[in-house]
């Protein structure tokens, strides 16, 4: 039950996370215990000294307490269990009312459930936190609306439904730009002057000048994104398609992907349109999937293994834990169904398009 209704929290308010509270210049708060649950979204704050405030929680709250009703260890554990079970995002404990430190049972119990505990200094009123949270949510909601507006323009340019000229006012007439496309869950250190929009689940940034600092910055393994080469403003549509294609392959590379990474078979496939991919899916993937479901075979898996091993029968057989003759029989059956033989290099190219295009 911990963390339930998280999706509702994301949708209803600005994207304020627990980690953001720790970075505020005021009111000051500090982490007590381990750095767990820092990415949880906070919907609102709720002051409560009830031993069980769960009937008043709807998920995503920062629960603020002075601990006045929980001086005993068992009561402290019950409070945390009730709060976390109702889906609270974090617990804030006011110092100086009952104790000058957060009780260890509260910290241990909350951290074990993946919830962070924050230390609130004695001179910080709960209302200050509530007001700051509301202000941050409003600011981020305004920012999200602006990004959606810019993103709609960017997407129209990418799809050829509008000229790149319409972005001129946003770009302040920069000579050359890079495009960066990343999942919206990733926060990249974008240079000043970047024009940022939201397109679907992606953040798209049009960056004037160089992105050398962005590419050299340390990133987590999940912080993968796509980027285009420098290009004149009037050719932004091309750069947008290039950056989106690079973003599509970046997760498989487990690093940021750029123009050079598109000069690969996988990069080529990800630049194909859905209409171009459709025949491969319809005549290659779908027939094999249906046959496998009907006969409980593994023909599609066999085709994929041969693609990954460049048609090497011995290596593919080892991966599938089958005899080489069995693999050849499967390849013959695949050819009967699709008209393509995965042991043939040219036919295997079609399988590669079908497999990569379906990812």
Confidence of residue 13 (pLDDT cuts 50, 70, 90): very low
Confidence of residue 4 (pLDDT cuts 50, 70, 90): very low
The CATH number assigned to the domain with range 6-124 reads 3.40.1390.20
Q: For residues 343 and 323, give the distance between their C-alpha atoms in angstroms, rounded to a whole number.
A: 15
pLDDT in tens, 39-83: 999 999 999 999 999 999 999 999 999 999 999 999 999 999 999
Q: Report pLDDT for 296.
A: 94
Segment 157-162 mean pLDDT: 84
Q: Where are the beta strands (DSSP E) in the chain?
A: 30-32, 44-47, 61-65, 90-94, 116-120, 176-183, 195-199, 202-208, 226-227, 231-232
Confidence of residue 19 (pLDDT cuts 50, 70, 90): very high
pLDDT in tens, 262-291: 766 666 676 676 777 788 888 888 999 999
Query: So where are the chain's domains?
Result: 6-124, 142-258, 274-357
Segment 313-333 mean pLDDT: 94
Examine the pLDDT at 1 and tell me if it is beyond 50: no
pLDDT in tens, 204-223: 998 887 777 777 665 555 56
Examine the pLDDT at 7 and tell me if it is beyond 70: no
pLDDT in tens, 286-301: 999 999 999 999 999 9
Q: What angle do helix axes 299-308 and 313-320 make, rounded to 10 degrees?
A: 130
Q: For residues 315 and 205, give the distance between their C-alpha atoms in angstroms, rounded to a whole number.
A: 43
Segment 33-40 mean pLDDT: 94
Q: For residues 24 and 276, give the distance between their C-alpha atoms in angstroms, rounded to a whole number.
A: 49
Segment 7-23 mean pLDDT: 66
Contacts of 223 (CB under 8 A, 6+ apart): 182, 186, 188
Q: For a pLDDT cut of 70, what percent of the chain falls above it?
A: 88
CATH fold label, 274-357: Arc Repressor Mutant, subunit A (1.10.10)
Q: Report pLDDT for 346.
A: 87
Compute φ and ψ for 282, nearest 5 degrees. -70, -40
Examine the pLDDT at 179 and tell me if it is beyond 50: yes
Examine the pLDDT at 177 and tell me if it is beyond 70: yes
């Amino acid at each position: 039950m911990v963390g339930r209704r998280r999706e509702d929290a994301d949708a209803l308010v600005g994207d304020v996370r627990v980690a953001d509270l720790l970075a505020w210049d005021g009111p000051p708060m500090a982490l007590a215990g381990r750095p767990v649950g820092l990415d949880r979204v906070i919907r609102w704050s709720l002051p409560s000294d009830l031993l069980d405030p769960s009937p008043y929680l709807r998920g995503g709250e920062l629960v603020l307490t002075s601990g006045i009703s929980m001086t005993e260890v068992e009561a402290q554990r019950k409070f945390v269990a009730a709060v976390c079970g109702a889906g609270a995002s974090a617990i804030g404990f006011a110092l100086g009312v009952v104790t000058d430190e957060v009780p260890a049972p509260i910290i241990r119990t909350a951290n074990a459930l993946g919830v962070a505990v924050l230390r609130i200094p004695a001179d910080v009123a709960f209302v200050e936190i509530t007001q700051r949270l509301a202000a941050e949510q409003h600011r981020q909601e305004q920012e999200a609306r602006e990004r959606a507006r810019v993103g709609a323009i960017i997407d129209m340019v990418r799809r050829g439904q509008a000229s790149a000229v319409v972005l001129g006012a946003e770009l302040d007439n920069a000579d050359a730009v890079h495009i960066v496309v990343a999942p919206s869950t990733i926060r990249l250190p974008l240079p000043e002057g970047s024009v940022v929009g939201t397109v679907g689940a992606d953040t798209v940034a049009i960056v004037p000048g160089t992105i050398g600092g962005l590419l050299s910055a340390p990133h987590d393994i999940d912080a993968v994104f796509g980027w285009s080469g420098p290009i004149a403003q009037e050719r932004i549509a091309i750069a947008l398609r290039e950056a989106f294609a690079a973003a599509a392959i970046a997760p498989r590379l487990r690093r940021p992907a750029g123009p050079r990474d598109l000069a690969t078979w996988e990069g080529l496939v990800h630049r194909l349109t859905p209409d171009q991919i459709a025949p491969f899916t319809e005549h290659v993937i779908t027939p094999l999937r249906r046959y496998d479901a009907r006969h409980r075979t593994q023909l599609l898996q066999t085709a994929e293994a041969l693609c990954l091993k460049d048609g090497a029968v011995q290596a593919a057989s080892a991966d599938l834990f089958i005899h080489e003759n069995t693999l050849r029989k499967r390849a013959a059956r695949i050819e009967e169904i699709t008209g393509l033989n995965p042991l043939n290099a040219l036919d295997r190219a079609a399988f590669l398009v079908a497999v990569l295009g379906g990812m």
